[in-house]
Amino acid sequence: MDIQPIKNERDYDQALAAIERLWGAEEGTEAGDKLDILLILVEDYEDKHHRISPPDPVDAIKFRMEQMNLTRKDLEPCIGNRGRVSDILNRRRELSLAMIRNLHSRLSIPLESLIGEA
pTM over 0.75: no
Q: How far apart are CA 96 and CA 100, in angstroms?
A: 6
Q: What is the pLDDT of residue 52?
A: 76
Q: How far apart are CA 78 and CA 17, in angstroms?
A: 47
Q: How far apart are CA 41 and CA 12, in angstroms?
A: 9
Q: What is the pLDDT of residue 118?
A: 46
Q: What is the pLDDT of residue 73?
A: 97
Q: What is the pLDDT of residue 116?
A: 72
Question: Which segments of the chain have a pLDDT < 70?
Answer: 1, 117-118
pLDDT tens per residue across span 49-67: 987 777 899 999 999 999 9
